[in-house]
Amino acid sequence: MGKLRSKGIFISSLYYFVVNITMRKVDTVKKVDDTAENLEICKKYCGSCPTFKGSRLSESPPNALFCARGKSSVSSNVKTISCYCPACEIFTKYELIIGHFCTK
């Protein structure tokens, strides 16, 4: 009975996450400011991101801070390996809800 109950709690928690976090209206997401401070934060996270490094995204506009500037000009050629977006301070500060801003 204990395992079944804990699974129910997990399912309830997962449902809460899906409904309240991922299903938010896109228009409720804050716009990320394209500032020098945000760019420095971005370089910490994107600079070590396997997708960013593996696809050499620093060589194609907008080069970084995709959550503010938009997806990469070579987004269709990007091989998504992993995503560090949710670990980024900007992601938290602006309450962003998706990742892989370089491709989406």
pLDDT digits (tens, 9 = 90+) for 58-98: 999 999 999 999 999 999 999 888 888 888 999 999 999 88
C-alpha 85, offset from chain centre: 3
Sort residue 34 into left (φ over 0), alpha (ψ -120 to 50) or beta: beta
Q: Is the pTM of this model over 0.75?
A: no
Mean of the per-residue pLDDT values for the chain? 80
Amino acid of residue 87: A
**Residue 27: its pLDDT value, please?**
54
Give residue 1's pLDDT band: very low, low, confident or very high (50, 70, 90): very low
d(CA 78, CA 73): 10
- Residue 103 to residue 99: CA distance in whole angstroms: 9
> Other C-beta atoms within 10 Å of 34: how many?
13
